[in-house]
Amino acid sequence: MLSLRQLWVIGSDSRQRRIREEIARPIDESLLWATILLVMFGLVMVYSASIALPESSRYSFAASGGSWFESSIYFVKRHLVAICVGTVAAVVAFGVPPNLWQRFAAWLFLGGLVLLGLVLIPGVGIEVLGARRWLPLGFMTLQPSEVMKLLVVIYAADYTVRKQDVMQSLAKGILPMGCAVGLVGLLLMMEPDLGAFIVVCGIAGGMLFLGGINGRLFVGLVVVALASFALVIAFSDFRRERIFAYLDPFAEAYKHGKGYQLGQSLIAFGRGEWFGVGLGASVEKLHYLPEPHTDFLLAVIGEELGLIGVLVVIALFFWLVRRVFEIGRQAVALDQTFNGMVAYGVALWIACQSFINMGVNLGVLPTKGLTLPLMSYGGSALLCNLVSLAIVMRIDFENRRLMRGGR
């Protein structure tokens, strides 16, 4: 019989062998597969959620320039094109060394500000339902606010590295970043896009905290941010009405329509119960639930696949965010601070936006127009999500190369 010491040695050898095998791999395969599963799952659910949209008055199938059948797959075809474009962009982004992102971080951020400005110019930006958020590219439309989320991650990572010695100072360490985020917020509120501004603030604030900001200053920043958002809501009639509708969606659902979307989402989850009504069998997507293929895709998942389907989505996002955070921690431990901060920023971005989208769908948070990362219909969002994760995978590739003794 083996002694406890021998068992410990055997166990240690086995763990070391697994670590060596893991380091020998070029990238984190579990992160890659989690990303692929979320994207493919999203493609299936976008098709299911959008198949009836061309029949509605809002999405006239005649606008697609084809027969009824062609229009019934209009959204999923566009989503598939976005996946292909995003995959190509991700492959290109993976080939870019992280130090190049750091070198051009400030210029990229300025480019993002220019895009946010262009979208506000009449005749240049596309206006839909009173919001001017898109730029036409021919084969797809570009939403600069989604691009800015990625550029804020890169800029904030570079900023925390450059300002590491003055991060405890309000004037030198905090205010410059606050002014940059404030300028982004001003442009976003002119679109308007409060949801994107909330995510940008969450990314920047979280990265400053992880970058070593003074604790008291961080608490002060959070208080100021919350007070600012409260004022924006208080002085905006439609945002204030959304808050009241969120507090009691069914009381407002048929009076003013402000709680209608949330009410239908909750009905969808209720119909799904444990195992759902079956893939493709959702009733709420048949013109009852607005935006079932974008903001409220999770509600359709909950109705068709039940609580089990929703838990699978949550588990995949949890695993993905956890792995990205671990890659960031490894990069910081290897003295690759910029790389680590970029990974932290991407993890905060996906975690923050996923939490808000799921919270809105479940009635935990007030209704806000944010898509579910990697899954919802929307070319710009999907493109930027895939590029950001490709950058993280390149950081993981660099980590493994350094751990193998490379330079």
pLDDT tens per residue across all 407 residues of the chain: 445 454 455 556 665 666 665 666 777 889 999 999 999 999 999 999 988 776 655 554 444 444 444 567 888 988 999 999 999 999 999 999 999 999 999 999 999 999 999 998 888 888 776 678 888 887 778 899 999 999 999 999 999 999 888 777 778 878 888 899 999 999 998 888 888 888 999 999 999 888 887 778 888 888 888 887 778 777 777 677 777 677 777 775 555 566 778 888 899 999 999 999 999 889 888 888 888 888 999 999 999 999 999 999 999 999 999 999 999 999 999 999 999 999 999 999 999 999 999 999 998 888 777 899 999 998 899 999 999 999 999 999 999 988 877 66
Closest C-alpha to 344, from 178, 252, 207, 221: 207
Secondary structure of residue 335 in the 3-state scheme: coil
pLDDT at residue 280, as a whole number: 86
Radius of gyration of the chain (CA): 23
Q: Where are the alpha helices (DSSP H) in 95-143?
A: 98-103, 105-118
Residue 11 domain-assigned (yes or no)? no
pLDDT at residue 63, as a whole number: 43
C-alpha dihedral (199, 201, 206, 211), degrees to nearest 10: 140
Residue 2 domain-assigned (yes or no)? no
pLDDT digits (tens, 9 = 90+) for 287-337: 888 888 889 999 999 999 999 999 999 999 999 999 999 999 999 999 999
* Cα–Cα distance for residue pair 281/250, rounded to 1 Å: 24
pLDDT at residue 375, as a whole number: 95
pLDDT at residue 62, as a whole number: 42
pLDDT at residue 7, as a whole number: 43
pLDDT at residue 55, as a whole number: 65
Tokens of 58: 């809002």
pLDDT at residue 69, as a whole number: 41
User: Would you say 49 and 295 are in contact if contact means Cβ atoms under 8 Å apart?
Assistant: no
Closest C-alpha to 148, from 295, 349, 296: 349
Residue 22 domain-assigned (yes or no)? no
Residue 255 domain-assigned (yes or no)? yes
177 CB-contact burial (10 Å; exposed 0-12 / middle 13-18 / buried 19+): buried
Closest C-alpha to 263, from 276, 251, 275, 277: 251
Task: Look at the alpha carbons of 122, 125, 126, 129 in this order and tell me if their dihedral is positive or negative.
Answer: negative
Residue 9 domain-assigned (yes or no)? no
Residue 6 domain-assigned (yes or no)? no
pLDDT at residue 51, as a whole number: 85
What is the domain range of residue 336? 34-403
Q: Tokens 């009852």 map to which residue?
A: 288
- pTM (two decimals): 0.89
pLDDT at residue 199, as a whole number: 92
Q: How many independent structural domains does the chain possess? A: 1
Residue 107 domain-assigned (yes or no)? yes
* Cα–Cα distance for residue pair 385/95, rounded to 1 Å: 16
User: Would you say 131 and 191 are in contact if contact means Cβ atoms under 8 Å apart?
Assistant: yes
pLDDT digits (tens, 9 = 90+) for 37-80: 999 999 999 999 988 776 655 554 444 444 444 567 888 988 99
- β-pairing, 131-136 vs 126-128, is antiparallel
DSSP string, 27-72: S-HHHHHHHHHHHHHHHHHHHHHHTTGGGSSSS-GGGGTS-HHHHH
Residue 10 domain-assigned (yes or no)? no
pLDDT at residue 110, as a whole number: 96
Between helix 29-50 and helix 74-94 the angle, nearest 10°, is 160
Q: Which residues contact 245 (CB under 8 A, 6 or more apart)?
A: 252, 253, 256, 258, 259, 262, 367
